[in-house]
């Protein structure tokens, strides 16, 4: 399904973090819908390197790109020499910036700021040099425990990841004032869908609950999970927003969610219906009280008006569409 009418023939698109969850989905969107565009994927890919919390530093995985025929570059966005090489050897028309240290529990403030903020400035300079429109991943983490529905301008990040994304937004606004390129920041809410498995423990609870159920284990939820509400958004709507952001009416920062808060309990109930199971839920104390968002709901009115974005998937529809992939991943990667 094409979300834009104009052709991208002979256009060159850079996707940073292109072996990750959202980046790889973007890569396949362009390959399938705009086969005459040149797509360049840049990703650091995974190594054994971990953060202090034990999670991998990079989640990029080659399996997310199986079947992709475009150009692939292994490299780190912190490598200034690499970015200079990209500036000289390519002429990008669009840059989709998905690369980041995206682990909200990471404690390395220095690495977070260097990777998420400083490297982004270098990529903005690349975009300006090439006169390329920039679409980048911001985050609902910028809101912290701000009152729902979350609105742009009411941020209160409570971890360094959210702070780094808000810093990216501030930097973007400065560039919007002084450059002619279009810059669009998309604040993703809780995304789920295909190609997230290699995020490991940071993958969505939709996938994690699905695999618990397929293993015959009772789903384990925090106490009062029927009252813990998030704005869960299916990957297809995230891709839609990115494509709409290629030719925005205005540069800006926009929420990307469904505009509806749903509970973690609902995820399990929908999964059990789709998988035909009736396992008993187990409820455990929530160890993250005080640092945990108990209610997120994106205000998406501006996103609708200025980007022409309209969420297409309710959670019931998104999970139903995702279940065959959840089963495939379980059979091929988990069992």
Which active-site residues does the annotation give? 161, 199
User: In whole angstroms, what is the distance from residue 238 CA to residue 42 CA?
Assistant: 20
Contacts of 133 (CB under 8 A, 6+ apart): 93, 94, 95, 127, 181, 182, 183, 184, 246, 247
For residue 96, what are its two tokens?
Answer: 């989709």
**Cα–Cα distance between 57 and 44 in angstroms, integer?**
10
Tokens of 206: 């939709």
Surface-to-core class of residue 60, CB atoms within 10 Å of its CB (0-12 exposed, 13-18 middle, 19+ buried): buried
Return the bridge partners of 41, or none.
15, 72
* Count of C-beta atoms within a 10 Å radius of residue 47: 10
Q: Determine the 3-state secondary structure of 167 from DSSP.
A: helix
Contact between 203 and 211 under an 8 Å Cβ cutoff? The reply is: no
User: Helices (DSSP H) in the chain: which residue ranges?
Assistant: 21-33, 80-89, 109-113, 119-130, 160-178, 205-214, 235-244, 264-275, 301-307, 315-329
User: In whole angstroms, what is the distance from residue 206 CA to residue 225 CA?
Assistant: 14
191: nearest Cα among 298, 331, 329, 40: 298
Write phi, then psi, for 185 (nearest 5 degrees).
Answer: -100, 130
- The number of beta carbons lying within 10 Å of the beta carbon of residue 334 is 11
């Amino acid at each position: 399904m094409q979300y834009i009418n104009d052709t991208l023939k002979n256009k060159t698109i850079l996707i940073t973090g292109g072996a990750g969850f959202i980046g790889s989905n973007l890569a396949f969107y362009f390959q399938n819908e705009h086969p005459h565009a040149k797509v360049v994927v840049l990703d650091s890919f995974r190594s054994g390197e971990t953060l202090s919390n034990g999670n991998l530093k990079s989640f990029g995985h080659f399996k997310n790109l199986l079947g992709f025929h475009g150009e692939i570059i292994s490299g780190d966005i912190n490598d200034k020499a690499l970015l200079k090489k990209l500036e000289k050897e390519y002429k990008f028309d669009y840059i989709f910036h998905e690369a980041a240290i995206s682990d909200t529990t990471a404690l390395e403030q220095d690495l977070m700021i260097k990777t998420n903020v400083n490297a982004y400035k270098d990529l903005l300079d690349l975009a300006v040099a090439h006169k390329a429109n920039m679409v980048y991943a911001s985050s609902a983490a910028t809101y912290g425990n701000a009152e729902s529905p979350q609105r742009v301008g009411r941020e209160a990040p409570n971890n360094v990841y959210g702070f780094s994304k808000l810093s990216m937004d501030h930097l973007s606004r400065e560039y919007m004032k002084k450059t002619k390129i279009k810059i669009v920041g998309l604040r993703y809410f809780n995304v789920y869908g295909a190609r997230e498995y290699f995020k490991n423990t940071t993958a969505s609870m939709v996938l994690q609950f699905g695999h618990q159920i397929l293993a015959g284990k009772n789903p384990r939820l925090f106490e009062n999970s029927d009252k813990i509400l998030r704005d869960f958004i299916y990957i297809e709507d995230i891709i839609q927003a990115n494509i709409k952001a290629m030719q925005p009416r205005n540069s800006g920062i926009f929420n990307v969610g469904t505009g509806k808060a749903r509970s973690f309990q609902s995820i399990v109930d929908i999964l059990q219906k789709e998988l035909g199971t009736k396992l008993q839920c187990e409820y455990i104390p929530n160890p993250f009280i005080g640092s945990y968002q108990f209610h997120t709901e994106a205000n998406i009115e501006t996103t609708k008006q200025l980007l022409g974005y309209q969420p297409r998937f309710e959670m019931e529809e998104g999970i139903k569409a995702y279940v065959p992939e959840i089963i495939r991943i379980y059979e091929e990667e988990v069992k």
